[in-house]
Structure 1
Amino acid sequence: MALRNAIMATLLRGEASGYDLAKIFDASVANFWMATPQQLYRELERMEADGLLAARVVEQERRPNKRMFSLTEAGRAALHAFTAEPSRPGAYRDELLVKVQAVDAGDPAAVQEAVRERLAGAKAKITRYENLRARMLDGRSEDDYLAGAERIGPYLTLMRGLSFERGNVRWCERTLAVLAQRAAVPR
């Protein structure tokens, strides 16, 4: 998948500046697609040149002018075509898993610390995602939201992010328990 598809999907919510997109990516899209602000800005320029996005300049008094991007009809058509393509399985690379796999020949204390850091990060993401979920639901039940919301894609991807991080918490806790148990038994 190209970054441009994630950008176009994000712009379905409406016009946004590059700065806005970076914040949106960090707050919600990051559970399934990572991009630096520099990558976003470069891709926005390419997408505008390709006719997928339109940009307008908003003049500001006390700040630099900003460019606001929106999907063009060509961008909507490209996004439609992307959703019709068969999905390929994603490649999953995780340095922590390589460290855990090598723990028997490595530094178990350092690996445990890395797992604890992952656990803390997963718990922090769950808190952020739950807060975002509460804002999206805005007092409605999940069923009411899903039945009546204009767009449900962001909610469904948020649910995947929550599920993923809850799985990370379970795995980290189990891994730490196993490593602690093995450390307690002399070899």
Structure 2
Amino acid sequence: MALRNALMAALLRGEASGYDLAKEFDAAVANFWMATPQQLYRELERMAAEGLIAARVVEQERRPNKRLFSLTDAGMAAVRDYVAEPPGKPTAIRDELMVKVQCADVGDLGAVRAAITERMAWATAKLAHYRRLQERLLGGRTEEEFFAEADRIGPYLTLLRGMSFERENLQWGEMALRRLEQRAAVPRPAG
């Protein structure tokens, strides 16, 4: 998937500045797509040059002027075309922690346990962030009410996937720590 597709998806909410899009990525898209602000701005420039988005300048008195981006008709058509395409192959996991865990039997089990614990802390923080976002999206409604009434449900569905991913990370971490503790308690023959 190209970054432009994720940006166009974010712009479905309406006009936004590059700063707003970066915050949106951090808050709502980070569970399935990562990008630095520099990458976002470069892609916005390319998209504007290709006519997929339009930019307008908003003059501000005490701050630098800002540019607001919105999808053009060509951009909306590109989103529709993208949605109609079959998805590519599922993403493969590339995770340095998994390589460390793979080597746990010949390495420092304490260091591996610490790395897993750190990952669990990260997952806990992300899950708390996602829960706050969920509350904001629901706005006091039940999920059933939200799905029946909301203009767009896609962002909520991707949020649920991100929450599920972080819960699974925590579940796996707890199991892995338990197994590594068991392993550390068993005397191992040298060599």
Letter in 1 for 2:174: E
Q: Which runs of 5+ in 1 are unaligned?
A: none
CA distance in 2, matches of 1:106, 1:87: 39
- TM-score, normalised to structure 1, is 0.98
Distance 1:59 1:107 in 2: 57
Please give the residue correspondences for 1:37-186 in structure 2 after superposition, counting only pairs within 5 Å: 37-88=37-88, 89-186=90-187
Which residue of the partner structure matches residue 26 of structure 1?
Answer: 26
Query: 1:61 corresponds to which letter in structure 2?
Result: E
- The one-character-per-residue Cα deviations of 1:30-64 (angstroms, maximum 9, x if unpaired) are 00000000000000000000100000001111111
TM-score normalized by the length of structure 2: 0.96
State the partner residue of 1:14: 14
Q: Deviations over 1:119-146 (max 9, x none)?
A: 0010111111011101111111100000
More deviation, 62-71/102-111 = 102-111
User: C-alpha separation between the residues in 2 aligned to 1:85 and 1:102?
Assistant: 40
Q: Give me the whole-angstrom Cα distance separating, in 1, the residues matched to 2:13 and 2:23.
A: 14
Give 2:2's aligned residue.
Answer: 2
Taking the aligned partners of 1:143 and 1:112, their CA distance within structure 2 comes to 40
Q: Aligned Cα RMSD in Å?
A: 0.7
Give CA-to-partner distance per residue, 1:73-105, whole Å, 9 cap, x none. Answer: 111111111111111122321111111011112
Moved over 4 A (4+): none
Distance 2:179 2:160 in 1: 29
- Tell me how many residue pairs correspond in the alignment: 187
Shift of 1:186: 1.3
**CA–CA distance in structure 2, aligned partners of residues 58 and 91 of structure 1:** 41
- Give the gaps of 5 or more residues in structure 2: none
Identity %: 68
